[in-house]
Each structure stands twice: as C-alpha cells, then as structure tokens.
Amino acid sequence: MDYVNAEACGANEPHVDCSNTFNTSQVFECREDVLRWARSVAHENGFVAVILRSDTNTGSRGRTTFVLIGCERSDEYRCRKKEFIRRDIGTRKCGCPFKLRCKPVVGGEGWMLKLICGVHNHELTKSLVGHPYAGRLTKAEKTLIADMTKSMVKPRNILLTLKEHNANSCTTIKQIYNARSAFRSSIRGSDLEMQDLMKLFERDQYIHWHKIKDEDVVHDIFWCHLDSMKLVNACNLVFLINSTYKTNWYKLPLLDFVGVTPTGMTFSAGFAYVEGERVNNLVWALQRFRDLFLKRDALPGVIVTDRDQALMNAVKDVVAELERVDYAGKNPSSCGCVRRLSFSDQGLSELEEGIKDVMETISKGFEELDVCGKFTLRTKLWEIAYPDQNSMCPPPTKVNTKGASKKAMSRNPRSTKHDPSYWEYVDAFESMQNNNSSVRRTASSSEQPNRSTMMPMLDQFQPFMHDFIDKIVDVKADGNCGYRSVSDLLGMGQDSWSMVRNHLLKELAKFS
C-alpha cells in the first residue's frame, strides 16, 4: 500500500507532509512501545494518532498480527444509532489518508513500523491542549484526582498538581471537573439523587425536614448539623436570615440562617431550599428553624433581615422577637437577656417529652385505618426509618444558571458540519409558512402541499391515519422513551419522565 504521491492517497489541498518524521528503521521491543513512539511523534507534529484496525494471528486462515495506525480525522463520520431525524452535529473526520502499519519482525523478535502515507489533507494544530484524546487522564491521574477530591482540594489546584507531575500534560480544567463528577457518581452507585442526599444526611448526622407535593416531588427542604444545633441553643441572641439565588440546577432560593457568638464570630445555623420567597414557604422554613430550640423560652432576641416583606411577615408569624422588642422598649435592662458562652452538652440532651407516647398514638391510629390508610402511613414511616430508599425526586426542571445567553455564530467556511438534508429544508419551509399564516393566500396558493413531505416520519404510520396526525414528536431514545412520551403528552416535558415512573411504581405497589 505504498503511495507515490499525495494525489494517489486521496489528499486534498491544502495538505501537510509528515513522511520524514515517521520514516524509521528502528525495531521496537513490543507492540506498546511502537504505539507509544507513534503517538509521541504525532503529538509533536500537532495531531493525534489512533488505532484504526488491528488483528492477531490465531492460526486460522487469513489472520495475521498487525496494527494499522492513522490520524484521528481519517475515515468519515458514521452514526452508531439509528436516528429518524438526523442531527446537525460537527465531526473531526474528514477522510485524512495518513496511515502507518506496524507488525512483528519476520523471523525475529520485536516490532517494525512501515509508513503507508504520511500526508494529511487538513491543517495541523499548534497545540493539543484541550484535545479530548490528548488530554485523556491515565489511571494513576484518576486515582490522584479521586484522593484530592476527598480531601476537598479545589479543581484548579488539582490541575496544577497534574501539570507539576507531567509538564507535557494536555489536560484542562474541564476534564478535571468531568473526572470529579464521574468519581462522585461512582460513589453514589445506583441510588437516585434524593436517596443519596438522605443517606448523606444520616451519615453525617444532619437534622433535616422536607415538604413534598404531588406525592413525591420535593417542595422545600431544611437541614442543620448537630453541632450547629448546639451553637443555636448556646448563642441564641442574634441571627441573620437572607436568601441567595442561582446556587443550584433548579433555581431554588437558598435560605441561610447565620448565628452570632458573644465573641463576634458567626456560624451557620441552618439552610433551607424553598420553592419561592412566598410567605407560606418562609413560614415553614422558620418553623423548622424554631424546632431547633430545645427551650421555648429561649427563642432569638434579634433577627436581622434585608427588609424582605415576605420574610418579615413570616418572622412576625413564627418568632416572638417583635413582642420582646415591644416589651423591652428602649431600656435594655428590662429585657433580662443574660448570656453565658457554653458549648457543653449539659441541658441539651434532656428532652421534656419522649417518643413513647407518640409511638403508642401512631400504633393505635394505625390499627383503626383501612387498607389504603395503613399503606400510606406505613410509607411515611418507611421514609423516616429508611431515608436512603425513599421514592422522592427533585423538581423536574433543571435551569442553566451559568454564563450568558449564547449568540448565533456564523459558520466557518471550513466547518466539518454537514449541509442540511432535504427534510431539514422542508421543516424550515414549514416553519416559515406557519409564521406567515396571517397573510391571505390567493386562489392559486390555496392548495395544501403533500403532508408526507412536510412532516418527518409520517410515512412510518398507516396512510389512513395521516389526516388525523397534527404533529410528530421524536423523544430521546434512552430506554425511557415510553415514560418520556407520557410526560410530554401531559405537558410536563419529556425530561420529567422520572416523575411518571415514580407514580407508576407507587401505583403498582399500592394495588399489587
């Protein structure tokens, strides 16, 4: 397969010839050595070498041991999944003819490399930093990232450590974030997001409450650490309450409770994700915050807010701070608030009431319920006893809170994206016609176009159904397409398929 010139190997102008750098008579000890050498030389020249094809001699007819190495941009893009609607995606593959062939030395030991074509039909890059293949992490680097992630090391410091270990590393901060995310997903295993959250609450000894709607969707959630609860009861004079935004995928306001110690230091007293800054949501969060105080006569003396009207109304309904201010007036001595800094557990471990009478009431009420009532009560107790096995799910809509809105970019004339197919032109024409539907048509244009060419995938349905089909939606084919179709028809969007599945599981469990 020796090529005489660039035209014979199918290279298109402009082309780059790298034949001189890959012409070698060196004999390598093993297959890995020749691959390592070819990839290092390719990196120096500004492209990535990959294995196109390989085989091993097993004694069968036609089987020989060889490895065919080529440029990553060789061949053409082939979709791995059958798609009814072709997506407008980019690809690096442009049919680059560069090829190397390595095979064992005949009658000896070692491997030899032979140049087939050293010409590229594309420009070579000056730097491979950020390239997904060149910046691929090794097993040792992934282990290092996992260990540093456990130690709460910041991603930029992890990247700096990798660069110090390997000066030629092409890894970027994005790949560090991806590796951290993959590591955390491996820890979570098969648990859902809410199941993993409840498991972490129990493991790290957090006090938490939650409120749900539609039977399983989390509405509000409040959590506080046991050490913070001790500080809340010891330093209960001044608390600051404020909300922050854009802190999560679901755009839920984060209600932050901050306490102040007699030494002038601050501590986190609790956190709450609420559905919105409405009075009912804030009242619920403040009620949960009030439950942290073991003595009802030791509620906060002062609450500082940012003059949010909803929060002020909620404070007025839940905390007795306004009444205490009216009683004290301008004379601080009449308040009688004398505080002594103490972090001991004395007085905090003794509760005024136990849970024995509560459990007896629950048991008695359980026996009086019917079958459906018993099932509902048992489900609630099950979630308390086994928080990592609950069926709760987060809000269905995820919001992108990072960066500004992206502007349409003009296409590069050398872009590798394919030209629009015929059906894409038809869809664009149909969209334009719908936008101009208010314009009165003449008699010659009143005829309707053929619907089979206007609607994609219409020919996959029986002809007698065509007149009754107004729209065809192709949901994502990830194994949950049935749930996605139901959620989309219900108006919740196909990304809410997990809610449909959870409802079905509850229905099956309830009427098993």
Contact 456, 429 (CB under 8 A): no
Burial class (CB in 10 A: 0-12, 13-18, 19+), 167: exposed
**What distance in Å separates the CA atoms of residue 436 and residue 442, rounded to the nearest whole number?**
14
Phi, psi angle pair for 104, to nearest 5°: -65, 150
Burial class (CB in 10 A: 0-12, 13-18, 19+), 2: exposed
Q: pLDDT of 13-72, one tens digit each? A: 557 888 888 888 888 888 899 998 998 888 888 888 889 989 888 888 878 899 999 998
Mean pLDDT of 396-402: 60
Task: Report the sign of the C-alpha dihedral through residues 84, 89, 90, 91, in that order.
Answer: negative
pTM of the model: 0.49
**What distance in Å separates the CA atoms of residue 28 and residue 475, rounded to the nearest whole number?**
51
Q: pLDDT of 58-72, one tens digit each? A: 888 878 899 999 998
Q: For 47-57, b where at least 16 C-beta lie within 10 A, e where not — what string? A: bbbbebeeeee
pLDDT band at 440; cut points 50, 70, 90: very low
**What distance in Å separates the CA atoms of residue 134 and residue 49, rounded to the nearest whole number?**
10
User: What pLDDT is recorded for position 10?
Assistant: 44
pLDDT tops 70 at residue 491: yes
User: What pLDDT is recorded for position 424?
Assistant: 63
**What distance in Å separates the CA atoms of residue 497 and residue 483, rounded to the nearest whole number?**
5
Mean pLDDT of 277-301: 85
Q: pLDDT of 160-192, one tens digit each? A: 998 888 887 888 888 899 999 889 888 887 777
> Distance between terminal CA atoms of the chain?
67
Mean pLDDT of 491-505: 84
Contact 510, 372 (CB under 8 A): yes
Higher pLDDT, 113 or 337: 113
Least confident of 3-12, 89-98, 120-129: 3-12
DSSP class per residue in 60-100: STT---EEEEEETT-S----SS--SS------S------EE
pLDDT tops 60 at residue 410: no
pLDDT band at 100; cut points 50, 70, 90: very high
**Spans of all domains in the chain:** 16-120, 139-188, 206-353, 451-512
Q: pLDDT of 101-147, one tens digit each? A: 999 988 778 899 999 988 988 888 887 877 777 778 888 889 999 99
pLDDT tops 90 at residue 470: no
pLDDT tops 50 at residue 9: no
User: What pLDDT is recorded for position 291?
Assistant: 87
DSSP class per residue in 180-221: HHHHHHHHHTT--HHHHHHHHHHHTTEEEEEEEETTTEEEEE
pLDDT tops 50 at residue 6: no
Tokens of 99: 């090829």
What percentage of the chain carries pLDDT values higher than 70?
75
Residues 6+ apart with CB under 8 A from 193: 393, 394
Residues 6+ apart with CB under 8 A from 276: 253
Residues 6+ apart with CB under 8 A from 204: 225
pLDDT tops 60 at residue 79: yes
pLDDT tops 80 at residue 397: no
**Cα 137 from chain centroid?**
20
User: What pLDDT is recorded for position 7?
Assistant: 44
User: What pLDDT is recorded for position 419?
Assistant: 57
Residues 6+ apart with CB under 8 A from 124: 16, 45, 46, 47
User: What pLDDT is recorded for position 391?
Assistant: 67
pLDDT tops 80 at residue 341: no
487 three-class SS: helix
14: preceding bond cis by omega (within 30 degrees): yes
User: What pLDDT is recorded for position 430?
Assistant: 65
**What distance in Å separates the CA atoms of residue 168 and residue 134, rounded to the nearest whole number?**
10
Angle between helices 371-385 and 356-368 (to 10 degrees): 150
User: What pLDDT is recorded for position 452?
Assistant: 46
Q: pLDDT of 342-360, one tens digit each? A: 555 555 555 555 678 878 8
224 three-class SS: strand
Tokens of 323: 């009444």
